[in-house]
Amino acid sequence: MVRLKYAYIIKCNEVIKDEEGHITTLMCEYYPDSRSGSDTSGIKVKGTIHWLSAAHAISAELRMYDRLFSDEDPRDTKSATTESF
């Protein structure tokens, strides 16, 4: 099961492939009470899928960083360290 961004949680029940083994269809079901923003299903999923159509997609470079600040909460002035330059 996975959440579709701004939508519902879905579960894939069947994968249909063509003669060459390429996936052509996914047969899925959705959970109507899992709509994003008003989810009452209680289902926990491990991920969210955000998709784009191939016809409208453009190339992009993504840089994923684990942590940008040395402090867990950089807004917390009590834990901030100061340095003289």
For 6-47, write each residue's pLDDT tens digit: 999 999 999 999 999 999 999 999 999 999 999 999 999 999
Residue 26 maps to a domain? yes
The total number of structural domains that make up the chain: 1
């994003």: which residue's tokens? 36
Residue 11 lies in a domain: yes
Query: Per-residue pLDDT for 48 more than 60?
Result: yes
Structural domain contains residue 70: no
Domain carrying residue 17: 2-47
Q: What is the pTM of this model?
A: 0.57
CA–CA dist 79, 64 (Å, integer): 25
Q: Do the domain assignments include residue 36?
A: yes
Say if 29 falls within a structural domain: yes
- What pLDDT does 34 receive? 96
pLDDT on residue 77: 66
| Consecutive H or E run containing 2 | strand 2-4
